[in-house]
């Protein structure tokens, strides 16, 4: 059966990988809409290549350029917030949600329609507004399928038993570029060094989150909302080969793991056609050739951002929203050369401490989450040198 698909964030790395999956299975998918940021030419190329019916850019000023780039194609277009919302709301069976940052919250909320599947690659939907987002998805009967390789592996591993029988669900981390570095050497690291991820090809901000291990902390918060597991049942294991993506330790002593080569097309294909696997012409995992898989405990002394994220998850309420906002400001300051590497965790910890005595409840809506996010960002900006 052909399924209609909308891709939010079509020009990013996840969107490009999704296009490759779709092009390999043209009989399986019809592309309804594609959404991008401001690059009209790139979005027009994706729209033409996939035969989309509608294309939208978030940047309203880029609308004329998009219309020109699509001239003669018969593909409708628009630009600005209303056009992005229109794209998200158009009839589609599956919406691939890969707009990064809090900019993705409102479009993804608009995409929540009864009976839909959301293939989710936007962390902020769960980190900033997890309780509200998942409650709305349950109310509407929307299936949320994780696209992140770690959560997708956990989703498949958890199918082997009941959540009540889970002892620990573990996501893995490559360890980032500083896995073997001393704390003293890490303290002097440049933004270029922090951005050099050893395994995955991602944006600079995500690469730096990998270097601090904040990305793993945020993924623990995501896993809590996706799978309904408490902080005491979630953990991180460093695995530099990036072959094992998620593991479930069961109460009877058995261990179920999800393994795959580090290629995002694998979890994307699974998320698009959950329980109906797509045959993918990708290299197969040859364990004999790999020969050895290694694992280490995550070091929260050298990577304190992971400890801060764990604390935010345990605290609950609005603290994950505050943590994420403060981290984005601190990482931007580090990338701009305004602060040193370990000042990222220091700024985040300070902002979380400022709000910790206020007993702020979890956001009840996207608007609530964005308001808290804004307040936390302002507090973080006050701590960053001009």
Q: 38-84, pLDDT tens digit by residue?
A: 999 999 999 999 999 999 999 999 999 999 999 999 999 999 999 99
CA 271 centroid distance within chain: 13
- pLDDT given at position 386: 65
- Rounded Cα distance, 41 and 48, in Å: 11
Closest CA to 349 of 317, 285, 287, 306: 306
Delineate the domains of the chain, giving CATH numbers in brackets.
3-146 (3.40.50.720), 151-263+279-301 (no CATH), 316-386 (1.10.1740.10)
- Residue 206: band (very low, low, confident or very high) from pLDDT cuts 50, 70, 90: confident
pLDDT at 355: 95
Residue 197: which pLDDT band, with cuts at 50, 70 and 90? confident
Q: Where are the alpha helices (DSSP H) in 147-264?
A: 149-158, 183-187, 191-194, 204-212, 214-227
Are 376 and 350 spatial neighbours (Cβ–Cβ below 8 Å)?
no
State pLDDT tens for residues 232-287. 999 999 999 999 999 999 999 999 999 999 999 999 999 999 878 999 999 999 99
What percent of the chain clears pLDDT 70, i.e. is strictly above it? 98
Residue 359 has pLDDT above 80, yes or no: no
CA distances to 5, 200, 245, 269 from 242, rounded to whole Å, are: 29, 9, 7, 18
Phi, psi of 283 (to 5 degrees): -55, 145
Evaluate whether 160 touches 256 at the Cβ level (below 8 Å): yes
- Give the residue from 328, 274, 381, 345 showing the smallest Cα distance to 127: 328
Report residue 323 as tokens.
Answer: 């943590």
- What separation, in Å, do the N-terminal and C-terminal C-alpha atoms of the chain show? 56
Phi-psi region of 381 (alpha: psi -120 to 50; beta: other; left: phi over 0): alpha
* Structural tokens at position 124: 């902020």
* Pairwise CA distance, residues 208 & 6, whole Å: 29
Does the structure show a pLDDT above 90 at 202? Answer: no
DSSP letter for each residue of 339-385: S-HHHHHHHHHHHHHHHHTT-PPPPSSHHHHHHHHHHHHHHHHTTS-
- Please report where in the chains the tokens 């896993």 appear, as a residue: 223
Residue 196 confidence (pLDDT): 84
Mean pLDDT within 136-150 = 97
Is residue 316 over pLDDT 70? yes
Q: What is the pLDDT at residue 204?
A: 79
- Confidence at residue 200, expressed as pLDDT on a 0 to 100 scale: 62
Q: What pLDDT band is residue 201 in, cutting at 50, 70 and 90?
A: low
């Amino acid at each position: 059966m052909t399924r209609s698909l909308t891709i939010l964030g079509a020009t990013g790395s996840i969107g490009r990988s999704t296009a490759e999956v779709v092009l390999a299975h043209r009989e399986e998918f019809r592309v309804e809409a594609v959404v991008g940021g401001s690059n009209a030419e790139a979005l027009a190329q994706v729209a033409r290549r996939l035969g989309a019916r509608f294309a939208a850019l978030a940047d309203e000023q880029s609308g004329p350029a998009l219309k020109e780039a699509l001239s003669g194609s018969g593909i409708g277009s628009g630009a600005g917030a209303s056009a992005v919302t229109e794209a998200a709301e158009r009839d589609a069976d599956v919406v691939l949600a890969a707009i990064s940052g809090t900019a993705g919250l409102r479009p993804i909320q608009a995409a929540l329609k009864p009976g839909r599947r959301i293939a989710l690659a936007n962390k902020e939907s769960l980190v900033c507004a997890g309780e509200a987002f998942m409650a709305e998805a349950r109310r509407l009967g929307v299936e949320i399928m994780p696209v992140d390789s770690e959560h997708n592996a956990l989703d498949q591993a958890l199918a082997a038993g009941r959540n009540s029988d889970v002892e620990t669900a573990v996501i893995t981390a490559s360890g980032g570029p500083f896995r073997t570095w001393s704390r003293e050497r890490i303290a002097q690291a440049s933004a270029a060094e922090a951005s050099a991820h050893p395994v995955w090809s991602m944006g600079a901000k995500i690469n730096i989150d990998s270097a601090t291990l904040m990305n793993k902390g945020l993924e623990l918060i995501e896993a809590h909302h996706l799978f309904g597991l408490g902080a005491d049942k979630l953990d991180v294991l460093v695995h530099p080969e990036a072959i094992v993506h998620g593991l479930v330790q069961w109460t009877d002593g058995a261990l179920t793991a999800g393994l795959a080569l580090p290629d995002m097309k694998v979890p994307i294909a699974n998320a698009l056609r959950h329980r109906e696997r797509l045959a993918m012409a990708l290299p197969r995992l040859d364990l004999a050739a790999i020969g050895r898989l290694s694992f280490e405990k995550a070091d929260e002394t050298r990577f304190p951002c992971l400890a801060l994220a764990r604390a935010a998850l345990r605290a609950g309420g609005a603290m994950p929203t505050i943590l994420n906002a403060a981290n984005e400001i601190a990482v931007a300051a580090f990338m701009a050369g305004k602060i040193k590497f370990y000042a990222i965790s220091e700024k985040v910890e300070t902002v979380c401490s400022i709000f910790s005595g206020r007993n702020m409840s979890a956001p009840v809506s996207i608007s609530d989450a964005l308001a808290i996010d804004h307040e936390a960002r302002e507090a973080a900006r006050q701590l960053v040198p001009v």
